[in-house]
Amino acid sequence: MKTRKLGSTGIDVSEIAFGGVEIGIPYGIGVKDKDDMLSEKDAIHLLHTAIDEGINFFDTARLYGESERIMGNAFKNRRNEIVLCSKCKHVRDGNGKIPAYPELKKLIESSLQESLKMLQTDTLDVFMLHQGDLEILENDFVSQIITDLKAKGIIRATGVSVYVPDETKKAIDKGAWDVIQLPFNLMDQRQKTYFDLAAKKGIAIVVRSVLMKGLLSDRGKNLHSELKKVEDFIKNYHQLLGPNATDLPSLATKFALSFDAVAAVLVGIDKLDYLYQSLQATNGKPLDSQTVQKGNQLSYPEPDFLNLANWSKMGWLE
């Protein structure tokens, strides 16, 4: 497993980051309830195997159910081997408003303390704002509170999770964030517009949704009728398969890693098979420039339709 610089933080991370949502809550295609999830024992075994295979970057969140607690139990004797990232609770209140400074500070700091307790650690390598929309990113108090936590040494790096390119640009311009986590994949390539700018400013890009909840894998078949156009389009990527990427997950992962600005690709892993597939994608055989160029030309023509959260609400991913 190769490592890359996490921007200008001084932290080295594995190219594959272990996404912890699947071990904490029912998530993804075909996962409806806890019966479809790993037991805690099996989840801890999976996490330990990931470390043993060279993954050192682990991502979780306060809102990922049991994920932090399970990671805490898994890593309590191996903390020095890993880079740990967690995300704050949502900063909007029940009315969708951003609280005033005193309440906001209490929310963010208490969320961090809860994460530290669950993860059984005194510090976080990356503490990330969850779902940083434009209004949140423009709020000076939000960035100030998290930056102050870095100054105190409770966290090593600040981060923000965003959804759309305008939010990425705002986060870069703000100058407060060391790491930006964003969605990017073969089908939806809109975010790459700001990759070079982030790199120029020393901001790390961590890519999520690289497999689109499993659509860019063997799960992307026999989809809901409303997603027929998507399923048909995915077939285009088979022309890019070759000796360096023999399956869609490897192709999708290697495509994201072909961009120098990308520090790591976040992959949701809830099975040993998926772990080894992810490891195979970093086998030292990058995509050739011609394949990358073709991939750049094969983004989905209607990217606004690629809203996985909306698909879940509509029941299209069941």
pLDDT (mean) for 260-279: 90
Helix ranges (H only) for the chain are 40-52, 67-75, 101-119, 134-138, 140-151, 165-174, 195-200, 228-234, 248-257, 272-280, 289-296, 308-313
Average pLDDT over residues 202-217: 92
Looking at per-residue pLDDT, the higher value among 37 and 198 belongs to: 198
Query: How confident is the model at residue 144, as a pLDDT?
Result: 96
Compare 17 and 285 and report the one with higher pLDDT: 17
The one-letter amino acid code at 30 reads G
pLDDT category of residue 217 using cuts at 50, 70 and 90: confident
Q: What was the pLDDT predicted at 170?
A: 97
State the chain's mean pLDDT as an integer. Answer: 93
For the stretch 134-149, pLDDT in tens is: 999 999 999 999 999 9
pLDDT band, residue 256 (cuts 50/70/90):
very high
Using a 10 angstrom Cβ sphere, with 0-12 exposed, 13-18 middle and 19 or more buried, the burial of residue 139 is middle
pTM for the model stands at 0.93
Residue with tokens 């005033």: 100
Map residue 193 onto helix, strand or coil.
helix
For residue 24, give both structure tokens.
Answer: 């904490």
pLDDT in tens, 24-58: 877 766 667 777 778 999 999 999 999 999 999 99
CB 114 within 8 A of CB 62: yes
Task: List, for residues 166-180, the tens digit of each pLDDT value.
Answer: 999 999 999 999 999
Per-residue confidence (pLDDT) for residue 182, from 0 to 100: 97
Average confidence (pLDDT) over 92-96? 89
Tell me the average pLDDT across 222-234: 94
- What is the pLDDT, as a whole number, of residue 53? 96
Q: Give the pLDDT confidence of 5-24 residue by residue, as tens digits.
A: 999 999 999 999 999 999 98
Calpha distance 212→41 (Å, rounded): 27
All residues at 6 or more sequence positions from 248 whose CB lies less than 8 Å from its CB, including other chains:
211, 216, 217, 218, 220, 234, 237, 238, 241
pLDDT confidence of residue 46: 96
Residue 280: pLDDT above 70? yes
- 3-313 falls under which CATH superfamily? NADP-dependent oxidoreductase domain (3.20.20.100)
Distance, CA of 109 to CA of 111 (rounded, Å): 5
pLDDT of residue 93: 87
β-strand partners of 161: 181
Distances (CA, A) of 47 to 43, 64, 73, 232, 265: 6, 16, 10, 35, 17
Higher pLDDT, 26 or 251: 251
**Mean pLDDT value of segment 94-108:** 94
CB 311 within 8 A of CB 304: no
